[in-house]
Chain A
Amino acid sequence: MSNSSIKFVDAAKSRHDFALIAKWIKPGAKVLDLGCGDGTLLGYLRDTLQVRGYGVEKDDANWLASMSNGVDVIQMDLEAGLSGFEAKSFDVVILSQTLQAVLNTEGIVQEMLRVGHEAIVTFPNFGYWRHRFQLIAGQMPVSKNLPYQWYDTPNVHLCTIKDFDEFCIQHRIEVMERMVLTDQQPIHMMPNLRGSLAMYHLKPAE
Chain B
Amino acid sequence: MSETSSIGIVAPQIAHFTEPLPLKSGEVLPQYDLVYETYGTLNADKSNAVMICHALSGHHHVAGKYAETDKHAGWWDNMIGPGKPLDTNRFFVIGLNNLGGCHGSTGPSSIHPETGKPWGSAFPVLTVEDWVTSQARLADYLGIHQLAAIVGGSLGGMQALQWTISYPERVRHALVIAAAPNLTAQNIAFNEVARQAIITDPEFHGGDYYAHKVVPRRGLRIARMLGHITYLSDDAMGAKFGRKLREGEIKYSFDVEFEMESYLRYQGDKFAGEFDANTYLRMTRALDYFDPALAHGGDLSRALAPAQADFLVVSFTSDWRFSPARSREIVKALLDNELSVSYAEVTAAHGHDAFLMQDAHYHAILRNYLKKIKLGGQA
B264 at interface by CB-CB < 8 Å: no
The reply to whether B328 and A84 form a contact with Cβ atoms under 8 Å apart is yes
The reply to whether B344 and A75 form a contact with Cβ atoms under 8 Å apart is yes
Q: Which residue of B lies closest to A52 (CB)?
A: B338
Minimum C-beta distance from A51 to chain B (A)? 13
**A52 — which chain B residues lie within 8 A by C-beta?**
338
Complex Cα–Cα for A75 and B336 (A): 17
Given A75-B343, A85-B335, residue A60 in contact with residue B361 (CB < 8 A): yes
The reply to whether A70 and B338 form a contact with Cβ atoms under 8 Å apart is no
B89 at interface by CB-CB < 8 Å: no
Complex Cα–Cα for A12 and B90 (A): 33
Complex Cα–Cα for A43 and B371 (A): 18
Complex Cα–Cα for A84 and B364 (A): 25
Chain A 66-79, CB-CB to B under 8 Å as 1, else 0, gives 11101011111000
A64 at interface by CB-CB < 8 Å: yes
The reply to whether B365 and A67 form a contact with Cβ atoms under 8 Å apart is yes
B94 at interface by CB-CB < 8 Å: no
On chain B, the number of residues with a Cβ less than 8 Å from chain A's Cβ atoms is 20
**B368 — which chain A residues lie within 8 A by C-beta?**
64, 67-68
Complex Cα–Cα for A52 and B339 (A): 10
The reply to whether A84 and B361 form a contact with Cβ atoms under 8 Å apart is no
The reply to whether A75 and B364 form a contact with Cβ atoms under 8 Å apart is no
Given A64-B364, A67-B368, A70-B372, residue A86 in contact with residue B336 (CB < 8 A): yes
The reply to whether A84 and B365 form a contact with Cβ atoms under 8 Å apart is no
B341 at interface by CB-CB < 8 Å: yes
**B364 — which chain A residues lie within 8 A by C-beta?**
64
Which residues of B153-205 have CB atoms within 8 Å of chain A's CB atoms? none
Partner among B331, B338, B369, B372 whose Cβ is within 8 Å of the Cβ of A74: B331
The reply to whether B343 and A64 form a contact with Cβ atoms under 8 Å apart is no
**B331 — which chain A residues lie within 8 A by C-beta?**
74, 84
**B365 — which chain A residues lie within 8 A by C-beta?**
64, 67
Complex Cα–Cα for A100 and B308 (A): 38
The reply to whether A84 and B340 form a contact with Cβ atoms under 8 Å apart is no
**A84 — which chain B residues lie within 8 A by C-beta?**
328, 331-332, 335
The reply to whether B341 and A75 form a contact with Cβ atoms under 8 Å apart is no
Most chain B CB within a 10 A radius of its CB, from A73, A74, A76: A74
Complex Cα–Cα for A102 and B368 (A): 29
A63 at interface by CB-CB < 8 Å: yes
A54 at interface by CB-CB < 8 Å: yes
Minimum C-beta distance from B185 to chain A (A)? 22
Partner among A63, A72, A76, A85 whose Cβ is within 8 Å of the Cβ of B340: A72
**B57 — which chain A residues lie within 8 A by C-beta?**
none
The reply to whether B342 and A67 form a contact with Cβ atoms under 8 Å apart is yes
Minimum C-beta distance from B70 to chain A (A)? 34
The reply to whether B347 and A74 form a contact with Cβ atoms under 8 Å apart is no
**A interface with B by C-beta (< 8 Å):** 30, 52, 54, 60, 63-64, 66-68, 70, 72-76, 84-86, 89
Question: Can you name 10 extra interface pairs (CB under 8 A) apart from A63-B344, A72-B340, A72-B342?
Answer: A52-B338, A54-B341, A60-B347, A66-B342, A67-B342, A67-B368, A73-B343, A74-B331, A74-B341, A75-B344
